[in-house]
Structure 1
Amino acid sequence: MKSYASFQGRVKSIEDFPINQSGKDLGCYKFVSLIDNNDSIVNFIVSPTTYFVDHVMIKVGDIVTGFYDRNAPVPLIYPPQYRALIMAKNTHYQNVKVDYFNSNLISSDGMLKLNIAPYTSVILENGQEFTKCPINRNLIVVYGPTTKSIPAQTTPYKIVVICDN
C-alpha cells in the first residue's frame, strides 16, 4: 500500500525529461521544478501515467501540489527528486487530499473525515463510476469547506478511487 506525501509550490520550470538513450520517449516525460514560500525546491518527474486532478494543464507560475509515494526509493540528491503520482493545481475554491481512508472514512493522519452525499461523484481514475463503497482505500478527495473539529469533516465534491494492484 502506498503512503502519500506532498509538496506544494509555484512551478519554476517545466522541461522535457528523456528517460532512455533512444529519444523515443522525448516529450512524454516532464521535469517539473517547484519552489515554495521558504525557497525550498523539489523536482518532480511527471510521466504519462501521472494523474492530474480535473485533468488541468499546468504552466510556469501556477501553484501546484505534487503527491508522491513516501516509501519509494529516491536518489539522495539536492534538490530532492520524486516521481509524481498525482498533481493538483491549487485553486481558491477547492482542496485536494490524497490519503488512505479507513472504514469510517477518516484519513490515515486523522485530520479529515468524509461525509459522502448523494451528489458526491465517486469515480475511478479513468473517469468511470465507482459502484462500491470507497472505504479502506487510497482516495483522491476534492473538497471545499470543512468543520473546525478534529478531525475536520467535509462533504467532498468528488472522490477518485485509486485502484492499486
Structure 2
Amino acid sequence: MALFKSFSGIITNIDHLWRGSTDRIGCTKLVSVENRDEGIVNFVVTPDTYFVDGVMIKEGDFVTGFYDALAPTPLIFPPQLRAIVMTKVSEYQNVKVDYFDTQLISSDGTLKLNLSPLTPVLLENGQPFITIPRNRNLVVVYGPTTRSIPAQTTPYKIIVLC
C-alpha cells in the first residue's frame, strides 16, 4: 500500500533524465519544483506519471506533485521523488490522491466521497471503471466541501489508480 504525500510549488526547471541504457531517451523528465519556503523537490516524471486533465506543464507553472512516501528514495539534496500524479494548481478545483476505504473515506480521515450517478469514475487511460471505487487508490478532483469532519464532497471526477 502506498502512503501518498504531496509537494506544491513553482516549476523552476524541466530537464531530461537518462537512467542508463534501458531508459527510452527523452521519455523521463526531471521537474524541479520550489515552494514559498524555498523548499525544493526534483520530481522524476515518467511515461507512467498521471497528469490530471492531461495538462501540459512548463517552467513557471504552479503545480502539485504526489508521490509515495514509502517508496525508496536516494538520500540526496534536493530530494528526488518519483511523481505518481501531477496537477496544475487551480482555484476552481482541488485534487486529492489517497487510498479510500469501503465507506469512501480517505486514509487520513479528512475527506469522504459522496458519489453521484453523474460522477465520472475512470481508469487512468480514460476508460470507465464499472464498479464503486472502494478500497482503492484514487485521484479525486473536487470542488466545495462541507465543514464536517471528515469533510464531504461530491467529486467532479475520480480516476482509479490500478
Normalised to the residue count of structure 1, the TM-score between the two structures is 0.95
Which residue does 1:85 correspond to in 2?
84
The residue number in structure 2 matching 1:47 is: 46
Look up the equivalent residue of 1:86 and give its one-letter code.
Answer: V
Aligned to 2:66: 67
Amino acid at match of 2:57: I
Structure 1: give runs of 5+ residues left out of the alignment: none
Q: Secondary structure at the match of 2:53?
A: helix
Residue aligning to 2:4: 4
Please give the alpha-carbon distance, in whole angstroms, between the structure 2 residues aligned to 1:139 and 1:40.
Answer: 27
SS of structure 1 residue aligned to 2:46:
strand
The residue matched to 1:54 in structure 2 has which SS?
helix
User: Partner letter of residue 14 of structure 1?
Assistant: I
Task: Say if 2:156 is the partner of 1:157.
Answer: yes
Secondary structure in 1 matching 2:149 = coil
Counterpart Cα distance in 2 of 1:143 and 1:62: 20
Deviation at 1:113, TM superposition (A): 0.5
Question: TM-score, structure 2 length as denominator?
Answer: 0.97
Residue of structure 1 in register with 2:13 after alignment: 13
CA distance in structure 1 between the partners assigned to 2:117 and 2:124 by the alignment:
20
Residue type of the alignment partner of 1:102:
D
Partner Cα distance (1:21, 1:124) in 2: 31
Q: 2 CA distance for matches of 1:100 and 1:25?
A: 31
- Aligned residue identity for 2:137: N
Q: Quick one: distance in 2 between partners of 1:25 and 1:121?
A: 33
Displaced runs of 4+ in structure 1, greater than 6 A? none
Give, as a single letter, the amino acid of the residue that structure 2 aligns with 1:20. Answer: G
Question: Considering only aligned residues, what root-mean-square deviation do their CA atoms show, in Å?
Answer: 1.1
Q: Structure 1 vs Structure 2: percent identity of aligned residues?
A: 60
User: How many residues are paired up?
Assistant: 162
- Following superposition of structure 1 onto structure 2, how do residues 62-141 of structure 1 map, counting pairs within 5 Å? 62-141=61-140
- What SS is found at the alignment partner of 2:48? strand
Q: Does residue 1:28 correspond to 2:27, yes or no?
A: yes
5+ residue gaps, structure 2: none
